[in-house]
Chain A
């Protein structure tokens, strides 16, 4: 059985039919062909599939389609068009925070969620904010540096909407 759903995705209104228990992750990757959201574990442990739903960081592998009605969803494909992404991108580059890249989209959205909540985080707060996103390459230090740098360079930016 399929249900009809309407929600906002990366700033656009979308209406589609899907199974109510389909994972948001599959909806994005298979039905909507947005593959920037990655599957790392399929059980909410690794954060590779993290997206923003109404500004909250969620693992798309644990979200069934049925709860999406009326929600505002942001994935890396939308987030990469924003001013906030631009700052994070530049800071990830400066800090050398990308290696294999598989955790990166989820990590960026975790950074966005964190900075929105705590625009001037301490290193410990950044670590706590990223603790739901696994990275096996970097040991996290350069990612933490990148987010701290983004807080400084993008001061004020995280109190304004992402514009999606």
Chain B
């Protein structure tokens, strides 16, 4: 039997390398019409009137009056319209669509449309939202959601505190910057609509179409096409694009293609939440950390989107990998007139771990200790409880992880040497972190209810029917490997195509580092049933998710197991800061992870390397700022993502620690690899410049400000 970790050739490799993979923009049909979206130019305004030019035959305008069903995007809160009715809440909010056969002519029509606005005073950032007493944009309050939970007895700890260490950190926006922009193709035929495109979550789109069209689900088909990257940016946002394309196809009675250009994509798609995080740690007379109070604030933008869930992950992650018995943790997601913040790889984790890891650095400095030495003293272990009081039931090998990373990176020695040299504009930092795999709390059971299906054919081939989408992360290959391994058949005998809602049950969205661990495990269990009936010829087996008996979750009080399981990791980043230009040069990056059993070592390495680069970009390159509600950066010239020359190769390793409930022992990985890069980098820069780093990204301009400060 083959070792499942051994790399095999990706099933999508040939068509991608040969340039044959057909992405949404590559689909050509002589009938096909183009669609452009007319968007709000105002951060907050009433729409007083819209003047339309006369249209040539074959051209159409689609606005909210063309929505046969409900004009509300079905997400956690249904506050966002598919197309604006009489008011707009952010620059870039879709108002109407122009549809027709010639792109140039569509643009000319858009030029002639006059939207008459009456401007209202916008809420432009977290600070403004906090100050505002009235005239809110969401249900008469400043936040979409506000959470608070406690562990132990923080009041008692505060009374006995001998010392307090306080910090405030800020993080900026980040754009997913998938190389393929948002792209959807829609067509109506025989009373059915088919929507195909660049998406992570076919069933989110199906639900959005059901709501917008008011059609029964049998009349709706959603198919994923080869997708040029997602990173969360194709989780909830494409539901909007898909509904727009569907409305256009319905009105024009022709297939349509809706492809964003880069500027449009960056300007109006969802982003990583900017955050302000305040932490206060209480120490007793023996210099032990006895409790913490933490407050997390995010700029959620104009509509609620997934901000509640992102905030939950943020407040469940911000305690870090440490066992602190007494905690009070609060979080607020503020409603502002900025672009909507949403899903992005890490989903609240990157902000949380940046803040906690830097806070631990600062506590260590205050105690004249080395940071990693301080951290080691508080590492979570099997049998401890998480910040929400959930018992951690798997082996936690943090000690082994940091020992390994110390060995491969030389962290301890370099840290000492750089300290002895008083920085000298060189530094090294180490972050330790986790990522909760799967949906928050009992969401897998309560919200998602995932199902998978295997179809066995007479020729002994087996077809995987799941809604998990291939977005570059390799699931067309890894899920096949899992099924083939259980069935003990060659992997080529397992079929698995891009998901099609006509064929695949809803196995949940392709998010939350859940595809291998949750969907993979369902397939594993399903395949065992198939194996038991192997001689039967042709048959189908379904497998539904059952919430494991060893877990429990109280979603009202945030008590219990906040995630089904965790993956763990440590990153080390070594930097040199240019003493004249203050540019950060990354000299080395190291990563060690416990992801249980790797399902394909090459695919795993790809996730590790890619996450590290995206995380380092978040930490020092990717500046995205809103001014007056408008994003200042809107293309790849002014929004700089890492190129091949920006960072050196990552040296990485894995810890052997199979997870009892994962397929062949696998846990989640996709997001974990982004989470720890920025804090390791920031700790390194802090050592290099001998100044407190309080925000990311660490641009030369920000470092110059710090150097000019006389503290």
Q: Which residues of A contact B (CB under 8 A)?
A: 29-30, 33, 35-43, 45-46, 48, 75-77, 80, 89, 92-93, 96, 98-105, 108, 123, 126-128, 130-144
Contacts and interface: CB of A to CB of B under 8 A. Distances in A.
Given A45-B637, A131-B645, A141-B609, A99 B21 contact: no
7 contacts: A37-B19, A43-B262, A98-B12, A102-B228, A104-B17, A108-B17, A136-B177
A9 to B, nearest CB: 14
A130 B645 CA distance: 8
A136 B262 contact: no
B636 interface: yes
A41 B636 contact: yes
Given A38-B180, A96-B605, A139 B262 contact: no
A38 B642 contact: no
A134 B636 CA distance: 9
B647 A139 contact: yes
A36 B16 CA distance: 9
Contacts of B181: 40
B604 to A, nearest CB: 9
Contact of B645 (A36, A45, A80, A127): A127
B206 to A, nearest CB: 23
A104 B13 CA distance: 10
A161 to B, nearest CB: 21
Given A101-B16, A101-B472, A139 B637 contact: no
Max chain A Cβ within 10 angstroms of own Cβ: one of B9, B12, B472, B643:
B643
Given A76-B19, A136-B179, A131 B644 contact: yes
B138 interface: no
A43 B649 contact: no
Contacts of B178: 100, 102, 136
Contacts of A127: 644-645
Given A29-B25, A134-B641, 5 more contacts: A36-B19, A43-B637, A93-B13, A96-B7, A99-B474
A30 B27 CA distance: 10
Contacts of B641: 134, 136
B376 interface: no
A102 B23 CA distance: 8
Contacts of B261: 42
B180 A40 contact: yes
Max chain A Cβ within 10 angstroms of own Cβ: one of B226, B228, B605, B635:
B228
Nearest to B647: A139
B602 A96 contact: yes
B465 interface: no
B26 to A, nearest CB: 4
A2 to B, nearest CB: 15
Contact of B473 (A33, A36, A37, A99): A99
Nearest to A81: B18
Interface stretch (B393-401, B446-454, B610-618): B610-618
Contacts of A123: 649
A137 B673 CA distance: 12
Shortest beta-carbon contacts, A-B, top 5: A36-B19, A101-B16, A102-B228, A100-B472, A139-B613
Interface residues on B, range: 35 or more
Contact of B28 (A33, A76, A133, A139): A33
A94 to B, nearest CB: 9
A102 B179 contact: yes
Contacts of A46: 179, 262, 636
A123 B645 CA distance: 10
Contacts of A105: 19
Contacts of A37: 19
Contacts of B319: none
B179 A103 contact: yes
Contacts of A43: 262, 635-637
B626 interface: no
Contacts of B228: 38, 40, 100-103
A136 B28 contact: no
B650 interface: yes
A142 B649 CA distance: 9
Interface in B584-620: 602-603, 605-606, 609-614
A72 to B, nearest CB: 19
Contacts of B227: 100
Interface string B639-677: 001111101011000000000000000000000000000
A139 B650 contact: yes
Contacts of A41: 262, 635-636
A39 B181 CA distance: 9
B671 to A, nearest CB: 14
Nearest to A105: B19
Contacts of B231: 136
B573 interface: no
Nearest to B178: A136
A101 B636 contact: no
A40 B259 CA distance: 11
Given A80-B18, A136-B614, A98 B13 contact: yes
A76 B18 contact: yes
B19 A42 contact: no
Nearest to B226: A101
B368 interface: no
B9 A136 contact: no
Contacts of A40: 179-181, 228, 262, 636
Contact of A102 (B180, B262, B474): B180
Contacts of A42: 261-262
A45 B226 contact: no
A100 B471 contact: yes
A80 to B, nearest CB: 5
Contact of A130 (B7, B25, B644): B644
B259 to A, nearest CB: 8
Contacts of A133: 644
Max chain A Cβ within 10 angstroms of own Cβ: one of B7, B21, B179, B649:
B179
Nearest to A143: B644
Contacts of A101: 12, 15-17, 21, 226, 228, 472
B627 interface: no
B20 interface: yes
Given A96-B7, A98-B16, A45 B636 contact: yes
A52 B341 CA distance: 39
Nearest to B639: A45
A134 B643 contact: yes
Contacts of B28: 30, 33, 35
A39 B602 contact: no
Contacts of B13: 92-93, 98
A40 B198 CA distance: 14
Contacts of A104: 16-17, 19
A131 B644 CA distance: 5
A89 B605 contact: no
Contacts of B473: 99
Contacts of B7: 96
B10 interface: yes
A139 B609 contact: yes
B32 to A, nearest CB: 11
A132 B646 CA distance: 12
Contacts of A135: 179, 644
A146 B345 CA distance: 26
A105 B22 CA distance: 13
B472 A137 contact: yes
B229 interface: yes
Contact of B650 (A76, A93, A99, A141): A141
A42 B637 CA distance: 11
Nearest to B261: A42
Nearest to A40: B179
A62 to B, nearest CB: 13
Contacts of B9: 93
A68 B473 CA distance: 38
